[in-house]
Amino acid sequence: MTVLEAVLGDITKVAVDGIVNAANSGLLGGGGVDGAIHRAAGPGLLAECRDIARRLGGCPAGEAVVSAGYNLPCKKVIHTVGPVWRGGGAGEPERLGSCYRKSLLLAREEGLETVAFPNISTGVYGYPKDLAAETAVRAVKAALPEVPEITRVVFVCFDMENYRLYQNLLENR
């Protein structure tokens, strides 16, 4: 049984096995949660991400790669790249859902049991928060049968609007 919960706060301070980063395809850091995670992790994270980017040629939207957690309280960071919102008709929901599913599958491969997600694509990438929250919760619930080892999924909201959206979605099971 996997517990799903929403919290209001800073994902870099959440003590879980793995936190998910809303990265860009270049994997070399940025603003928003990507910037916060790199700042909290320290320079080792960028060095490893540079190596991953060199080996894999970056990370396409909807996919995920894993790194160590360095100075963060988590064991691993799963870097996923959300879709840029272009009105909803360019496959954004499918790609966003894939971020959540691929991140959970990767967490399972890494032996992680607890995972925290930010509200992927709802900042710089402009995805409407209500649509993103619906897609995120639906995609996580749909993926749970594939990841029975994962005992807890935390949606870490940085603003009250996202927090209320996730609380409502998780209460109406």
Per the annotation, the verdict on 34 as an active-site residue is yes
Min dist. Cβ of residue 152 to ligand APR (A): 17
How many CB atoms are located within 10 Å of the residue 116 CB? 24
CB of 57 to ligand APR, least distance (A): 17
Largest pairwise CA distance in the chain:
43
Q: Is 157 left (phi over 0), alpha (psi -120 to 50) or beta?
A: beta
What is the closest distance, in whole angstroms, from the C-beta atom of residue 111 to ligand APR in the complex? 24
Look at strands 64-68 and 76-81 and give their pairing: antiparallel
Residue nearer to ligand APR on the CB measure, 37 or 150: 37
Smallest distance, ligand APR to C-beta of residue 106, A: 17
Q: Name the site residues for ligand APR (rule: CB under 6 A).
A: 10-12, 22-24, 30-36, 82, 118-125, 156, 158-159, 162
* CB of 94 or CB of 146, closer to ligand APR: 94
Q: For residues 36 and 53, which CB has a smaller minimum distance to ligand APR in the complex?
A: 36
Indicate the residue among 5 and 149 with the shorter CB distance to ligand APR.
5
Distance set, CA 83 to CA 6, 22, 57, 144 (Å): 22, 10, 18, 22
Of 34, 51, 130, 159, catalytic: 34
Give the residue numbers annotated as catalytic, written as ranges: 34
